[in-house]
Amino acid sequence: MEHNDRFEQGFEIRKEVFGAARAEKSRAMIARVLTIEDDPLSANEIVAELEKSGFDVHWVDNGTDGLARALSGGYDLIMLDWMLPGLDGLTILTTLRTVGVQTPVLMLSALGDVDERVRGLRAGGDDYLTKPFNPAELVARLEVLLRRCREVPALNVTTLRAGPLEVDLISRKVTRAGVEIALLPTEYRILEIMMRHCGQVITRTMLFEEVWGYHFDPGTNLIDVHMGRLRKKIDLPDMPPVIQTVRGSGYIFP
Amino acid sequence: MTFRWLSVYAVTFAVSVMVLIGFIGWSVTARMEVESDHLMHWELFSFDSIGDPDLLDSIRRRMEHEHVHTSYFGLFKADGTRIAGDILAVPAGLTFVGKGGGLSAPGVTLNHTLPIEDTVPLPVVRVMAEHRADGSQLVIARDLTDILRIREDTLNALIGGGILFLLVGVATGLLLSMRQMRRVRDIHRVTLRIAEGDLNQRLPVGGRDELDMLTHLVNHMLDEIERLMNEVKGACDGIAHDLRTPLSHIRTLLGNVAGRMQGSDDDSTTRMLDQARLETDVLLDRFRAMLRISEIGSLRRRGGFSSVDLATLVREVSELYEPLAEDRCISLSLESESVPAIHGDRALLFEAFSNLLDNAIKFAPDHGEVRIGLTALKQGAQFMVSDNGPGIPKGEREAVLQRFYRGNQVRHLAGSGLGLSVVSAVIRLHDFTLRIGGNEPGPGTSMTVECWSHALD
């Protein structure tokens, strides 16, 4: 699929930005993902999709075995279905967090119940996805979770830089080659999020959740229009756009 | 209503009591007069049997027996001079019993006018007289004072008791009617809630009367309705839920096929595959929206409710859609007054208002105009979005709130037809009201959300 090629491309560019050594390291460490999911069809899809994206996936079809596997450790990520035979997702998550397992957990649920999302996140879940989901959405979210836990967050970073573009996180000023670009708060937030997750695909839904903080499908091409505005301000004519569109998925700041 | 009936009842009751008292009073008096008349007749009769020479003696003897003064006597000559007895003069207006002691003439009641020796004040008496054979007049009177007092006491007791009876009756009636009224009000309140869709509510029970029998019947009916509704809802949700998994499988498979087709030159097949994927996406979106509506509808617990500042919320919604409007050269204006904070679910309200604005922008023509207004009214805040699009015909305005409804004039536009149902579900959850109107004087639509509870009206 095309977006996967782009995705790989993103990885290549990321190498340059973040230094070859670290990228090599993360490349060498193939992420191990545990999928606890009772529907074999969905599970097969997930496994196929994740393996295609370069993850090492283990699948367990019930809650009891899932908890045992998760406790035994050795996973970088856990995908947890809400409704499971044996133990339900929430119980597994609570148990894991109680005994001190801090592996990032992505909750999966058939219903996008608002309360369910809140309960899941409160119990220690790191992200939440409603079924059926776009595989690209799943991969993008997993990547973000993975990087969030692998990289020690640099607390004293006050500026983000990419080529001639510079974002001052404190004064919220954006400059290109020293010239200040006036951005609206929304545009600034989009740029900051894209740059913080550089080299990673950020889907429209993720962007909407991060920038506006709401969890529904805003529909139409709302996010694209906002992105278009931002691009008009930060892109130079006759140059490739700073933020690229990944077809079928979202955007990437290479 | 109940009070009106109660008043009618009380008046009827009072009138009956008065009639009863009047009847008793009248019959007692009549009976007493008849009794006195009988006695006096017998007395005259006995005097008749005494010869004239012995009469004076006989009267004196009778009077000696009268220590308590219940009877008075008087014997007068034909010219009215007193011969004997304690009655001082022949009173006027007497009817005389015929000679021989005929019993046909009734006595006469004299109120304090019969002159009697040594008695002050003069009593009320019943008087009867006759002409004796020698032409003298014999007058006999009976004191009615004691009997009158008994009658008065009886009447007083009856009137006092009647008034007390009436008061107690009215008070009890009032209490009972107030209790019934309260129950009816309770039932009214609950029915309103049920009408708004809260089928968990049941009518209050607890009177063990006809109203209770009715309440039990209605409650039983509600149980059945709720069960059926749940079954229908469960079936709908189940269908939407179960169909989503295979649909998403189809979508993935189509994606895989499209991926394999990438290298080939078969453009038409690729186009068809894209179209198929698009249609699957539309289906999935509709299912998602359907489940979401049902989910919002079942959000009974208002756990997610908190204080929401509508002005900020509306500004955020407006900012979110501003670029979209600008993209199509639609002028988007916001007029916001400061309104009091409301109690609600911020995320759901944001979604609902976004949906309304999204619709307005969707239906407004390029270079059109969309206005957002937040007004502070007496009852609460009012949110309004108006556009100058084609507008919704009056007859279709109710129908657009139904699931999947798409107006005839807008079938060409993208959309699931579920957006307004989501809005409607959110509005209902908050007890708010959504009104659809025209954008007078021009064409277009205005959507108004009245952000206050109508259950309090």
Residue recorded with tokens 């529907």: A39
Closest residue of chain B to A229, computed from CA coordinates:
B323
Contact B320 A212 (CB under 8 A): yes
Please give the Cα distance from B146 to B124 (Å, whole number): 10
CA nearest to B321, candidates B377, B364, B268, B276: B364
What is the number of CB-based contacts under 8 A between chain A and chain B? 75
Contact B241 A114 (CB under 8 A): no
Out of B304, B321, B414, name the one closest to residue A114 (CB). Answer: B304
Residue B82: its H or E element: strand B82-85
Contact B327 A225 (CB under 8 A): yes
Q: How far is A156 from chain B (nearest CA, A)?
A: 31
Chain A residues in contact with B321 (beta carbon < 8 A):
222
The dihedral sign for the CA sequence B432, B437, B440, B442: positive
Residue A166 β-bridge partners: A161, A175
Residue A177: alpha-carbon gap to chain centroid: 29
Contact A215 B259 (CB under 8 A): no
> A111 CB near a chain B CB, below 8 Å?
yes
Taken as a whole, chain A contains a residue count of 254
Closest residue of chain B to A221, computed from CA coordinates:
B324
Closest residue of chain B to A248, computed from CA coordinates:
B255
Cβ density class B203-240: b for 16+ within 10 Å, e for less: bbeeeeeebeeebeebbeebeeeeeeeeeeeeeebeeb
Contact predicate B43/B51, CB 8 Å: no
Instruction: Please tell me which residue, A138 or B406, carries the higher pLDDT value.
Output: A138
Q: How far is A217 from chain B (nearest CA, A)?
A: 9
What is the overall mean pLDDT for chain B? 80
For B249, the token pair is 């499988």
Q: B234: which residues sit within 8 A by CB, 6+ positions away?
A: none
Please give the Cα distance from B351 to A150 (Å, whole number): 35
Chain A residues in contact with B304 (beta carbon < 8 A):
114-115
Chain B residues in contact with A110 (beta carbon < 8 A):
241, 244
Q: Which of A81, A111, A133 to mutate to test the interface with B (most CBs of B within 10 A)?
A: A111
Out of B295, B347, B419, name the one closest to residue A113 (CB). Answer: B295
Residue B132 has pLDDT above 70, yes or no: yes
> A44 CB near a chain B CB, below 8 Å?
no
Please give the Cα distance from B429 to A245 (Å, whole number): 38
CA nearest to B129, candidates B160, B93, B163: B93
Residue B414 has pLDDT above 70, yes or no: no
CA distances from A106 to A7, A47, A117, A251, B401 (A): 21, 15, 11, 21, 36
> A110 CB near a chain B CB, below 8 Å?
yes
For A83, the token pair is 């409704």
Residue A31 has pLDDT above 50, yes or no: yes
Please give the Cα distance from B299 to B30 (Å, whole number): 81
> A221 CB near a chain B CB, below 8 Å?
yes
Question: Each residue of B135-184: pLDDT tens digit?
Answer: 788 888 888 887 788 878 877 887 888 788 778 878 888 888 888 888 88
Q: B404: which residues sit within 8 A by CB, 6+ positions away?
A: B286, B416, B417, B418
Out of A39, A111, A217, name the one closest to residue B295 (CB). Answer: A111
Least confident among A138-147, A239-248, B356-365:
A239-248
Closest residue of chain B to A118, computed from CA coordinates:
B304
Q: Which of A46, A113, A222, A247 to mutate to test the interface with B (most CBs of B within 10 A)?
A: A222
CA nearest to B359, candidates B281, B247, B269, B449: B449
Residue B79 amino acid letter: D
For B151, the token pair is 């009658």
Residue A76 amino acid letter: D
Instruction: Please tell me which residue, B42 or B2, carries the higher pLDDT value.
Output: B42
Residue B313 has pLDDT above 90, yes or no: yes
Out of A110, A212, A222, name the one closest to residue B324 (CB). Answer: A222
Cis peptide before B393 (omega within 30 of 0): no
Out of A1, A41, A214, name the one closest to residue B245 (CB). Answer: A41
Please give the Cα distance from A232 to B220 (Å, whole number): 65
DSSP at B307: E
**Angle, nearest 10°, between helix axes A222-234 and A204-212?**
80
Residue A11 has pLDDT above 70, yes or no: no
Cis peptide before B340 (omega within 30 of 0): no
Question: Each residue of B245-278: pLDDT tens digit?
Answer: 788 778 778 877 887 887 777 788 888 888 898 8
Please give the Cα distance from A137 to A249 (Å, whole number): 7
DSSP-based three-state secondary structure for A59 = strand
Q: pLDDT-derived band of residue B311, with 50, 70 and 90 as boundaries?
A: very high
Q: How far is B438 from chain A (nearest CA, A)?
A: 25
Residue recorded with tokens 């009248």: B26
Out of B252, B299, B321, name the one closest to residue A135 (CB). Answer: B252
Residue A172 has pLDDT above 60, yes or no: yes
Closest residue of chain A to B247, computed from CA coordinates:
A132
- Whether this model's ipTM surpasses 0.90 comes out as no
Q: A44: which residues sit within 8 A by CB, 6+ positions away?
A: none
Residue B434 β-bridge partners: B449
Chain B residues in contact with A229 (beta carbon < 8 A):
323
